[in-house]
Chains A and B, each alone.
Chain A
């Protein structure tokens, strides 16, 4: 019950921010030259003025900007995200179709980055300034500095074109009709390369944070106490240091959930995944305002939800932070 009321309060507090963001994006897109009919003309390779006028009417673009904004907000109040002009379907349906690949990719890469960041961070911190630390830190730096589209393409060239171990793109195999566990395995196989590509960049960050935070905690008095009372090193690290060093990592998850939704645009394009990032990019190019605003709305909800979970995790990790506060 306490958690529910906390969730309610969190959501209520974020509503003004959400509305401000939506209005801001709406107005920003008004400054971009061209509307969805121009974008459609560009795609069709031409059309006459009468057609354009008809289409503007069809998409409701003949109204004034405040009227369009007013209409949008009024629909939003009734939980109606509107109609997508590129997909010819309700925005809610379009997003619901595209959300699973993105959430799957995001969860997989975050888990990958978190887990290996943690492990490598601990190893690096224990052997600080010795060779394991140097190797791990250098690799981390390389991963961090390499653009993800390049990583993705190179992964495709090596693992799909030359070695032919993994599929080069797509969400599942179209040639075969699969069900149940085989379909799950097939999708998992398709997600390995994208997950690694997206995860490696974040891995570098987690690794650095984990290493720094371990080093800091290792020098604290209670660690010396733990050692003094004769605990073995593994126990000291796992029971005493790790738990305390994890806090900044958990904070990072909350912060990066948003970044990851954005970063997935590149990875989804390179691996032809039907996710939210690509949908957002397409909606900007096609000036599909309803879809774009819908994506921002849903992404904001996802970020709020992730941060809420992070807050609860805080309380579990460190009893001094209570959910009441």
Chain B
């Protein structure tokens, strides 16, 4: 690899990463003793408007960042990543794992004054989570009924055993409750409350001006005592990342969530005392960068070629020079932030080894032609994130070195999903795999065979392995947490050996927030959480 051309970037990255590290180590300067201040307006950067704001209907950070303050989930995660009750106070599973009972919180009311009861949970689970919510439909596939013996008890009945820890890890994202009395009549998808949400949360929806802003104000009847602190939250719609950085500096924004600014702006603001730039509070939103292989290409269906491709790419070099402290080397589909399931780095890995890559390609019988090229591949990068675009170019150059010519084909979001997951019109694809607390939520679908054609972010590679399918199915219904972890370790070992897709980089979203904010980034999914304890210092 020609290192000269990266010289400047590397130096810049090293300098800025030192600055970021300084901030990460000391994000909460000594303000433990301060008394929380009531009042203030918190301004949030909102980069991509969604079609609706109800988190019971759409699981994505773009919805949680707003809907998650207005509506609440049954359970959330506490500072240590453990399950903590929100609308549910306690839970219990039957020994056969087919019945899970939630005791609900007493005295909670919707923003319109009606009481919150188990009927709301029943309605939401059966009509939204099971039928409409993305990933919820898969999670609740075997949910047969929710019984409501009294207004504060909801009993979930499953056809097959549902591991309690899987449900509890999934519910922070996939467990937001909507009001039955507002949704029971008419088409749920077209309900006007989808754009003017009504919930039980610390903030009440006020106004949504499309393309401009969304406003929510303090809920005076919130069930947590003395919460929330803020008077209002205002989300400003700013699509241009550089403009958002300028607005942060001009004091028009307090918070830009989920890596909403450019890498260079984040590095620059990290040196500014007015801001904190950190990955803290986003541990629950880990993602990995992928290389997805299309087995319909005969060259790629040869495992030596897939391994050669992995060996040919210098991942540490890429991370050091382009992503700095915002990323680390990935070891497989389960990221190291997932302490309950991470099997350790002791699974088959593919360190950078150009000689080995060349040898594998030669062995596979793909000799270099007169022009030094063995064969050529079309690489489709996903359009989200600067890192994917940089990574695609890096892969192109690295593979060129071992005689594989790569043509990069760029698409927008809809085009990328259609070409890769529906039309299979790719040789290599690269994007993000989002890990959602438990491998059964959105990770194993990348490997399990039998995925319907066109389902995005699933196994559309033309690859299947009965052993992997079996381990995935067993783990999804295994009730013993220790055995489940062992099954997923087996799964990672197996897919890292076969390499139907490769996940060599692990990333966590970066938060840029005003140094005046207090009690921020204090849970693993803080950007999505309710912000009932967030306050602004003078």
B454 touches A49 (CB 8 A): yes
Bound-complex Cα distance A286 to B49 (A): 11
Structural contact, B243 and A33, CB atoms closer than 8 A: no
The yes or no answer to B215 lying at the interface (CB within 8 A) is yes
CA A279 to CA B243, docked complex, whole Å: 18
Is B263 an interface position by the 8 A CB rule?
no
Residues of B within 8 Å of A274, CB to CB, are 209-212, 237
User: Which A residues touch B239, using CB under 8 A?
Assistant: 269, 272, 278
Give chain A residues whose Cβ lies under 8 Å from the Cβ of B132. Answer: 51
Set of chain A residues within 8 Å of B50, measured between Cβ atoms: 43-44
**Are B247 and A44 interface neighbours, CB within 8 A?**
no
Which A residues touch B246, using CB under 8 A? 153, 156-157, 160-161, 168-169
Given that A34-B414, A272-B238 are known contacts, is A174 also in contact with B210, CB under 8 Å in the complex? no
A38 is an interface residue with CB less than 8 A from chain B: yes
Does any Cβ of B come within 8 Å of A151's Cβ? no
Residues of B within 8 A of A40 (CB): 51
Q: Which residues of the partner chain A approach B62 to less than 8 Å between Cβ atoms?
A: 43
Q: Is A270 an interface residue (CB 8 A)?
A: yes
Q: How many whole Å from A33's CB to the nearest CB in chain B?
A: 4
A282-B412 Cα distance, complex, nearest whole Å: 11
**Is the CB–CB distance between B414 and A170 below 8 Å?**
no
CA distance A98 to B49 in the complex (A): 15
A291 to B452, CA, bound (A): 30
**CB of B90 within 8 Å of the partner chain:** no
Q: Does A300 contact B (CB under 8 A)?
A: no
A38-B417, A48-B137, A161-B246 known; A43+B455 contact, CB < 8 A: no
Tell me which of B52-60, B71-79, B145-153, B311-319 binds A: B52-60
Point out the residues of chain A lying under 8 angstroms from B194, CB to CB: 88
With contacts A42-B414, A43-B62, A88-B52 known, is A33 near B423, CB below 8 A? yes
B182 within 8 A of A: no
| Residue-wise interface mask of B (221-234) relative to A, using a CB-CB cutoff of 8 A (1 in contact, 0 not) | 00000000000001
Contact B243 A174 (CB under 8 A): no
Contact of B242 with A153 in the complex, beta carbons under 8 Å: yes
Choose one: B135, B211, B414; the contact of A36 (CB below 8 Å).
B414
Asked if B418 is at the interface (CB within 8 A of a chain A CB), the reply is: yes
- How many of chain A's residues have a CB under 8 angstroms from any CB in B? 56
The reply to whether the CB of A181 lies closer than 8 angstroms to some CB of chain B is: no
Task: Kindly identify, within residues 352 to 396 of chain B, every residue whose CB is under 8 Å from any CB belonging to chain A.
Answer: 384
Residue in A44, A156, A270, A287 whose beta carbon sits within 8 Å of that of B58 in the complex: A44
| Partner pick for A39 among B243, B414, B434, B455, CB 8 A cutoff | B414
B38 partner residues in chain A, CB cutoff 8 A: none
Q: Of A45, A271, A272, which one neighbours B60 at CB under 8 angstroms?
A: A45
CB pair A287–B215 under 8 Å, yes or no, is: no
Please report the total number of B residues contacting A with Cβ < 8 Å.
Answer: 60
Contact with B along A27-63 (1 / 0, CB 8 A): 0000011111011111111111111100000100000
* A270 with B418: CB separation less than 8 A: no
Question: Which residues from chain B contact A271 at a C-beta distance below 8 Å?
Answer: 243
Q: Using Cβ atoms and an 8 Å threshold, which residues of chain B touch A287? A: 414
Confirm or deny: A86 has a beta carbon within 8 angstroms of a beta carbon on chain B. yes
Question: Taking CB as reference atom, which chain A residue is nearest B456?
Answer: A41
**How many whole Å from A36's CB to the nearest CB in chain B?**
7
CB interface residues, A 138-160, toward B, < 8 Å: 149, 152-153, 156-157, 160
**B452 CB, nearest partner CB in chain A, Å:** 4
Q: Is A121 an interface residue (CB 8 A)?
A: no
Question: Which residues of the partner chain A approach B51 to less than 8 Å between Cβ atoms?
Answer: 40, 43, 85-88
Beta-carbon contacts of B402-438 to A below 8 Å, as 1s and 0s? 0000000001111111110011000000000010000
Contact of A174 with B236 at beta-carbon distance under 8 Å, contacts A34-B415, A44-B134 already known: yes
Is A169 touching B215 in the complex (CB atoms < 8 A)? no
Would B238 and A169 count as touching, CB distance under 8 A? yes
Nearest neighbor of A287 in chain B, beta-carbon distance = B414
Minimal Cβ-Cβ distance residue in A for B134: A47
Give min CB distance, A311 to chain B, whole Å. 34
In the bound complex, residues from chain B placing their C-beta under 8 Å from that of A39 are 412-414
* Residues of A contacting B247 in the complex (Cβ-Cβ under 8 angstroms): 156, 168-169, 272
Q: Tell me, in angstroms, the Cα distance from A91 to B239 when the chains sit together.
A: 21
Task: Specify which of B134, B250, B412, B452 is in contact with A285 (CB 8 Å cutoff).
Answer: B412
Interface string of B149-167 (1 = CB under 8 A from A): 0000000000000000000
User: Which residues of chain B are within 8 angstroms of A279 by Cβ–Cβ distance?
Assistant: 211
B137 and A286: CB pair below 8 A?
no
Whether B249 pairs with A161 at a CB distance below 8 angstroms is: yes
Nearest-neighbour CB distance to chain A for B108, whole angstroms, equals: 28
CA distance A50 to B135 in the complex (A): 12
A318 within 8 A of partner (CB): no
The closest CB in chain A to the CB of B211 belongs to A274
Q: When A and B form their complex, which 5 residue pairs have the shortest distance between CB atoms, in order from nearest? A: A34-B414, A42-B413, A274-B211, A49-B452, A39-B414
**7 A-B pairs whose Cβ atoms sit less than 8 Å apart in the complex:** A34-B413, A46-B442, A48-B134, A86-B51, A156-B250, A271-B243, A272-B239
